[in-house]
Amino acid sequence: MPPKANDRFNDPDGEKFGIPTWPWRLGPDPSELATVRQLKAMGRRPGTTQKAGQLGWRRNGEDHFAALYRVDLAKPKRPMTDAMWAAVRKACAAHRTCPECKTDKGYRIPRRYGVCAPCYGGYPA
């Protein structure tokens, strides 16, 4: 009998992949190990760069992995500072400003064209 697809990544001892590995959706309890997205939903971030495990799945003939981090070592997310918010506002303004006519168009200039609609094709302003 051929092995099941889930058996490929069933390595809770870490003998095959070097760290404990579980099949997608069959991992350990999320209160112990969690992905970055799961930690973010809890208002936390990984407390270390070292992975405690991973989830594995196969898509389009390629192996994919999601890192798992220990929840008990997770730290609170850093709040946005005033300087961070200012940088975000500045970046958004830069994306709205046409490099050709130097005006804020009120919408994000498409990267495909690089300029606003009037500058690109002579459309009315």
Task: Please indicate, yes or no, whether residues 95 and 62 belong to a single structural domain of this protein.
Answer: no
Count how many domains the chain has.
2
Per-residue tens of pLDDT for the chain, all 125 residues: 445 656 788 888 778 888 999 998 888 888 899 999 999 999 999 988 899 999 999 999 899 999 999 999 999 999 999 999 999 999 999 999 999 999 999 999 988 888 988 888 766 55
Distance from C-alpha of 86 to C-alpha of 70, rounded to nearest angstrom: 33
52 and 94 housed in the same domain: no
Residue 10 is part of which domain span? 5-76
Give the global pTM: 0.68
36 and 86 in a single domain? The answer is no
